C-alpha cells in the first residue's frame, strides 16, 4: 500500500508541476489548428481531383480527426523521457536517483504519466475544437470511444518504454539525440501523423502496421473514427507484443548500463 | 563597407565554421549517426509523398515532380542554414540566459558571429537528400544545376533571416524559446504542400511564415526562369536582411547582461 502511495506521489508531483506550465502546451494549439487546416485543404483538393468521397475507407473529416489524435499524443509526451534520461546519465545525476528507495524505471513511468495527463487533456480539447472548426463533427460510437482510450493508454506506455530505451543508450553513446530524432520522425512518417496508413498501398500498410510507430496513436485514432472489432483485437495484440518487447529491451539496457555505472564509480 | 572588410569577415566566418566542424568530428560516432539518421528521415518523408502522389497523381495541377523540386530547394536551404548558422536557432535561449556578453566584446559584427558560432551537423543529411530529390524531380540539367545552387543559397539566407527575426523577439518578450520553436516548426510544416491549395490564406506564406519565398519562388525560378520572379526574390531577401538586422540590433539595446562567467577561445 505504502509502495503504491509512493508512486502516486511521484505521479501527483509531476502532474502539479506540468499544470504550472500549461501555456507551453497551449502555445502548440495554434500550430495544430494551422496543420489541420493545411491537411484539410490538401486532402479535400486531392479527393476532389480523384473524384472520390472515401479513400481507404476514410473521408476527409475522418483523416483530420485521426491526424489530430496522433498529434495530441506526440505533443503531450513532451518533455521527452529519452532527453531526461540522456541528461541524467551524462550529467551523473543518475548516481543520486538510483540510490533512492524506489524503482528507477517506475519513478520515470509514473512521472511520465503525471506530466502527460494534464498536457494531453489540454491539447486534446484544443485539438477537438480545431478539428470541429476545420472539418466538422464525425459520428463516434461508445465502443469506439472506449476502445480508443484503451489503445491510447497502451500507446503512451509503449512510447515511454521506447524512449526509456533510447535514453538508456547514453550509457554507451555520447549523444542519443540522433536516435530520438529518428524515432520522432518515424512516428511522423509511418505513424499517421499527417498521412494515415489506410491511404498506403496494401503491402506498405501491412508492413507499417507491424512496426511499433503505428501502435502509439494511429491504431487508437483509426478505431476512434471507424470502429472495427477484428481490427481492434489485431491492434491490441500487436501493441501488447511491442510493449512486452520494449519492456524486456529497456530492462536489459538498464541492467547492463547499471554495471557500467558501478565500474566507473557513478 | 570596403571589399577588404567583407573579405576579412568572410575569412573569419570560414575559420569559425571549420572549427565548429572539427569540434563535431571529435565525436565521430555521434557525427555519423546524426547525418545518417537525418538522411534516412528525409528519404522516408520523400517516400511518403511519392506514395501520396501514387494515390492522387494530380492535385490542382500539382504533381510529384513539383513536390520533389519544391522539397529539394527548401531542404537544401534549411540544411545550409542549419549547418552554417545554427547559432541563430539558439539566439532566444542565449538571450534569456544572458549568454551574449562574450560576443559583445568581439571585434567582428555581433550578429554574424552569433549566427555562425554553432553548427548542426545533422543538416548534412538534408543537404545530401535534397540533391537526390532534385535529381528525382526530373528537372536536373546542366542549365538548372547552377540556378538550383544559387536559389538554394538565397533560400538559406532568407530562412536564417526568418529565424533571426523570430528568435530576436526574445529581447522584447521573456521566455520566448518555446514560441520561437513553434514558429520554426510552422515554417517547416507549411513548405511541402502544393501552393495551389492555400487559396486566400496564401498571404500567410508571404508574410508571417515566408515559405512562399523560401520554397515556392526559388522552385519557380528553376522551372521557368523569369526576371520578375528573380527581382521579387532578391527584393524579399534584401528586405528580410534589413528586418532581421533591425530587430536584432534594436533588441540588443534592451539586452540585460547575465552574471555568467564563460570562456571563449
* pLDDT for position B1: 60
Contact between A42 and B197 using a beta-carbon 8 Å cutoff: yes
Residue of B52, B186, B193 lying closest to A31 (CB–CB): B186
Q: List pLDDT tens digits, range A116-173.
A: 998 899 899 999 999 999 999 999 999 999 999 999 999 999 999 999 999 999 888 8
The reported pLDDT for the residue numbered A101 is: 85
**Mutation target vs B (from A34, A47, A54; most B CBs, 10 A cutoff):** A34
**Tens-place pLDDT, residues A214-233:** 999 999 999 999 999 999 99
User: What's residue B265's pLDDT?
Assistant: 47
Orientation angle between helical segments B28-55 and B3-25, nearest 10 degrees: 100
pLDDT for residue B211? 94
B207 chain-A contacts, CB cut-off 8 A: none
Distance between CA B224 and CA B229 in Å, rounded? 10
Distance of CA A12 to the CA centre of its chain: 20
Instruction: Spell out which residues of chain B touch residue A177, defining contact as CB-CB under 8 Å.
Output: 34
- In angstroms, the CA B204 to CA A25 distance is 23
Neighbouring CB atoms inside 10 A of A71's CB total: 26
By percentage, how much of chain A surpasses pLDDT 70?
95
Residue pair B209/B186 in contact (Cβ under 8 Å)? The answer is yes
Per-residue pLDDT, averaged over A79-103, amounts to 84
Query: Could you tell me the pTM of the whole model?
Result: 0.88
Per-residue model confidence (pLDDT) at position A255: 92
Query: Within its chain, how far is the Cα of B62 from the centroid?
Result: 25
Nearest Cα neighbor of A18 from A97, A92, A106, A77 is A77
Considering only CB atoms, B30 lies closest to which of A41, A173, A189, namely A173
> Nearest Cβ partner of B55 from A55, A182, A186?
A55
Whole-angstrom Cα distance, residue A133 to residue A231?
Answer: 29
**Per-residue pLDDT, B261:** 57
When pLDDT is cut at 50, 70 and 90, the band that residue A196 belongs to is: very high
Q: What is the pLDDT of residue B78?
A: 96
| Chain B nearest CA to A4, separation (Å) | 35
Alpha-carbon dihedral angle through residues A9, A15, A21, A24, given to the nearest 10 degrees: 140
Confidence of residue A266 (pLDDT cuts 50, 70, 90): very low
Q: Which of A24, A46, A195 sits opposite B59 (nearest CB)?
A: A46
* B62 three-state secondary structure: strand
Residue in chain B lying closest to A208 (CA): B48
Q: Percent of chain A, pLDDT > 90? A: 61
Mutate: best of A24, A25, A38, partner B, most B CBs <10 A: A38
For chain A, what is the total number of helices (H) and then of strands (E)? 12, 0
Residue A173 and residue B193: Cβ atoms within 8 Å? no
Report residue A6's pLDDT band, with 50, 70 and 90 as the boundaries: confident
Higher pLDDT among residues B164 and A260, named by residue: B164
Task: Provide mean pLDDT across the span A84-97.
Answer: 82
Q: Is the pLDDT of residue A198 over 70?
A: yes
**pLDDT of the residue at A1:** 65
Report how far residue B228's alpha carbon sits from residue A84's, in angstroms, rounded to the nearest whole number: 50
pLDDT for position A24? 67
Please determine, for residue A83, whether its predicted confidence score (pLDDT) is greater than 50: yes
CA A46 distance to own-chain centroid: 28
Task: Give CA–CA dist A138/B151, Å, rounded.
Answer: 44
- For the record, the C-alpha cell of A155 comes out as 500507446
Nearest CA to B72 among B122, B153, B135? B135
How much is the mean pLDDT over chain A? 89
pLDDT in tens, chain B (265 residues): 678 888 888 888 889 889 988 888 887 888 898 899 999 999 999 999 999 999 999 998 899 999 999 999 999 999 999 999 999 999 998 888 888 888 888 877 899 999 999 999 999 999 999 999 999 999 999 999 999 999 999 999 999 999 999 999 999 987 778 788 888 988 998 999 998 888 888 888 888 899 999 999 999 999 999 999 999 999 999 999 999 999 999 999 988 776 555 555 4
**pLDDT (0 to 100) of residue B142:** 94
Residues of chain A found within 8 Å of residue B55, distances taken between Cβ atoms: 46, 50, 55, 199
Four-point Cα dihedral B203, B206, B207, B211, nearest 10: 120
For chains A and B, what is the number of CB pairs under 8 angstroms? 95
Residue B90 Ramachandran class (φ > 0 left, ψ -120 to 50 alpha, else beta): alpha
d(CA A162, CA B44): 20
The reported pLDDT for the residue numbered B99 is 83
Identify the closest residue of chain B to A187 by CA–CA distance: B41
What distance in Å separates the CA atoms of residue A227 and residue A142, rounded to the nearest whole number? 10
pLDDT of residue B29: 83
Residue of B nearest to A25 (CA): B178
Amino acid at each position: 500500500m505504502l509502495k503504491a502511495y509512493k508512486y502516486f506521489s511521484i505521479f501527483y508531483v509531476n502532474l502539479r508541476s506540468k499544470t504550472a506550465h500549461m501555456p507551453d502546451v497551449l502555445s502548440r494549439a495554434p500550430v495544430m489548428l494551422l496543420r489541420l487546416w493545411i491537411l484539410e485543404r490538401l486532402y479535400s483538393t486531392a479527393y476532389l481531383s480523384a473524384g472520390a468521397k472515401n479513400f481507404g475507407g476514410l473521408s476527409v473529416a475522418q483523416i483530420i480527426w485521426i491526424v489530430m489524435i496522433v498529434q495530441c499524443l506526440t505533443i503531450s509526451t513532451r518533455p521527452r523521457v529519452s532527453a531526461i534520461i540522456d541528461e541524467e546519465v551524462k550529467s551523473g545525476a543518475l548516481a543520486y536517483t538510483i540510490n533512492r528507495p524506489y524503482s528507477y524505471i517506475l519513478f520515470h513511468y509514473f512521472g511520465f504519466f503525471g506530466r502527460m495527463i494534464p498536457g494531453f487533456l489540454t491539447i486534446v480539447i484544443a485539438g477537438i475544437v480545431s478539428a470541429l472548426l476545420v472539418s466538422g463533427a464525425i459520428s463516434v460510437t461508445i465502443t469506439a470511444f472506449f476502445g480508443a482510450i484503451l489503445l491510447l493508454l497502451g500507446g503512451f506506455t509503449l512510447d515511454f518504454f521506447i524512449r526509456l530505451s533510447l535514453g538508456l543508450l547514453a550509457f554507451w553513446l555520447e549523444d542519443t539525440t540522433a536516435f530520438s530524432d529518428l524515432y520522432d520522425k518515424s512516428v511522423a512518417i509511418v505513424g499517421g501523423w499527417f498521412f494515415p496508413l489506410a491511404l498506403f498501398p496494401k503491402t506498405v500498410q501491412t508492413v507499417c502496421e507491424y512496426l511499433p510507430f503505428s501502435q502509439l496513436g494511429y491504431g487508437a485514432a483509426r478505431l476512434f473514427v471507424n470502429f472495427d472489432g477484428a481490427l481492434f483485437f489485431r491492434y491490441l495484440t500487436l501493441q501488447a507484443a511491442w510493449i512486452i518487447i520494449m519492456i524486456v529491451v529497456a530492462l536489459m539496457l538498464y541492467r547492463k548500463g547499471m554495471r557500467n555505472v558501478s565500474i566507473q564509480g557513478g | 563597407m570596403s571589399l577588404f572588410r567583407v573579405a576579412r569577415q568572410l575569412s573569419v566566418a570560414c575559420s569559425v565554421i571549420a572549427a565548429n566542424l572539427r569540434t563535431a568530428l571529435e565525436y565521430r560516432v555521434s557525427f555519423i549517426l546524426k547525418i545518417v539518421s537525418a538522411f534516412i528521415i528525409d528519404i522516408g518523408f520523400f517516400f511518403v509523398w511519392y506514395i501520396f502522389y501514387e494515390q492522387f497523381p494530380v492535385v490542382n495541377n500539382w504533381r510529384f515532380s513539383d513536390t520533389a523540386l519544391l522539397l529539394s530547394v527548401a531542404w537544401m536551404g534549411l540544411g545550409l542554414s542549419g549547418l552554417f548558422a545554427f547559432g541563430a536557432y539558439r539566439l532566444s535561449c542565449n538571450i534569456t540566459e544572458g549568454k551574449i556578453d562574450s560576443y559583445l566584446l568581439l571585434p567582428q559584427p555581433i550578429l554574424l558571429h552569433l549566427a555562425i558560432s554553432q553548427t548542426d551537423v545533422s543538416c548534412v543529411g538534408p543537404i545530401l537528400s535534397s540533391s537526390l530529390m532534385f535529381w528525382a524531380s526530373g528537372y536536373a540539367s546542366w542549365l538548372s544545376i547552377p540556378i538550383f545552387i544559387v536559389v538554394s543559397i538565397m533560400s538559406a539566407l532568407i530562412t536564417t533571416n526568418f529565424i533571426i527575426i523570430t528568435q530576436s523577439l526574445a529581447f522584447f518578450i521573456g521566455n520566448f524559446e518555446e514560441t520561437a520553436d513553434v514558429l520554426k516548426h510552422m515554417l517547416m510544416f507549411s513548405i511541402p504542400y502544393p501552393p495551389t491549395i492555400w487559396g486566400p490564406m496564401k498571404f500567410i506564406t508571404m508574410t508571417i511564415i515566408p515559405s512562399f519565398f523560401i520554397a515556392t519562388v526559388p522552385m519557380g525560378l528553376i522551372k521557368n526562369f523569369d526576371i520578375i520572379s528573380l527581382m521579387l526574390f532578391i527584393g524579399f531577401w534584401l528586405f528580410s536582411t534589413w528586418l532581421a538586422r533591425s530587430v536584432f540590433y534594436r533588441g540588443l539595446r534592451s539586452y540585460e547582461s547575465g552574471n555568467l562567467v564563460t570562456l571563449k577561445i
